[in-house]
Amino acid sequence: MAQSQTQPASAPILEIRGLTQQFGGLRAVSDFNVELHPGEMVGLIGPNGAGKTTIFNLTSGFYQPSEGEILVLGENTAGKKPHQVTSMGVARTFQNIRLWNEMSVLDNIRLAQHYQLGYGFFHAVFRSKHYKQREREVETKARELLEVFGLHDYAEELPKNLPYGTQRKLEIARALSSQPLLLLLDEPAAGLNSADAKELIRLIRWIHGHFNVTIWMIEHHMDVMMELCTRIKVIDFGETIAEGTPDEVRNHPAVIAAYLGDENI
């Protein structure tokens, strides 16, 4: 059998080992482990304050872990700033929409390619050939993305003037503009009514297929979670309390106990 030089197809995109995060006296995350393989769609759920967004913040580079390591495509993210982690192939959306409201929708999308612009101050000022070419390419890519998301009509609009559901869509589109291999979605269905949530399920499924991107999702809307994810991890007080397929998790006693009284189930 010839030794293949390429990575085996199932090499994990994201590996988190023994992740622990301490904020002063508070242990927000405790010995968290996960492996995400290319093409997976995995969920992360837990009651409010369980530490889910903290894990996302750690993965995207906003905090440095107190203990443990995070590997993206085998490369450790320790010491890297968020924009560097993004250039390694990780993109994320936020619980609260963080679009740039005073810039056009097109600009919002274009800026996500900032690390790939490949030109600097002097090229920009002297409008070199290189600059013009890159700007053309960036704009083309951005417009294509808007087209594919059905947002092209809004290209010159300001995000704050768009309906909430559209803004959510735009945020996801923007995250995809940086051409990630791994997409972290932090409560994408937050604030959506059930019609919009159904639309979102369709959208995410389509994104998963069309962009061939691995998705890791935090969500409270259980129907969205159960529909989309093949695997779900449950945490509470920073600790993993259950893991498995949606059905396994739904019936897990620890999960039910943690959510007892929670209206979302």
Q: Which residue ranges make up the site for other proteins (CB under 8 A)?
A: 53, 57, 60, 62, 81-83, 86-87, 91-92, 94, 98-103, 107, 110-117, 119-121, 124-127, 131, 135, 138, 174-175, 177-178
Least gap, CB of 31 to other proteins (angstroms): 22
Minimum distance from residue 237 beta carbon to other proteins (Å): 19
Q: Give me the residues paired with residue 70 across strands.
A: 16
List b or e across 232-259, with b for residues whose CB sees 16 or more CB atoms inside 10 angstroms.
bbbbbebebbbbeebeebbebeebeebb
Bridge partners, 35 (sequence order): 15
Task: Write down the least CB distance from residue 245 to other proteins, Å.
Answer: 30
Distance in Å, CB of 184 to other proteins, minimum: 10
Nearer to other proteins, 111 or 226 (CB): 111
Question: How is residue 27 written in tokens?
Answer: 């242990």
The rounded distance, in Å, linking the Cα atoms of 103 and 235 is: 37
Compute CA distances 103 → 54, 106, 109, 139, 240, whole Å.
Answer: 28, 8, 10, 15, 40
Min dist CB 233 to other proteins, Å, is 21
Please state the closest distance from residue 209 (CB atom) to other proteins, in A.
Answer: 24
Task: Kindly tell me which of 117 and 155 has the beta carbon lying closer to other proteins.
Answer: 117
What's the token pair of residue 130? Answer: 């290189």
- 188 near 217, Cβ under 8 Å? yes
Is the CB of residue 265 less than 8 Å from the CB of residue 254? no
Which residue's CB is nearer to other proteins, number 91 or number 229?
91
Nearer to other proteins, 177 or 240 (CB): 177
Closer to other proteins by CB, 185 or 242: give it: 185
Q: CB of residue 30 vs other proteins: minimum separation in angstroms?
A: 20
CA distances from 173 to 44, 65, 101 (A): 21, 29, 15
DSSP, collapsed to helix, strand or coil, labels residue 228 as helix
Helices (H), the chain: 52-60, 82-87, 105-111, 121-126, 129-148, 164-177, 194-210, 222-228, 246-250, 253-259
Instruction: Between 66 and 199, name the residue whose CB sits nearer to other proteins.
Output: 66
Q: Residue 81 or 210: which CB sits closer to other proteins?
A: 81
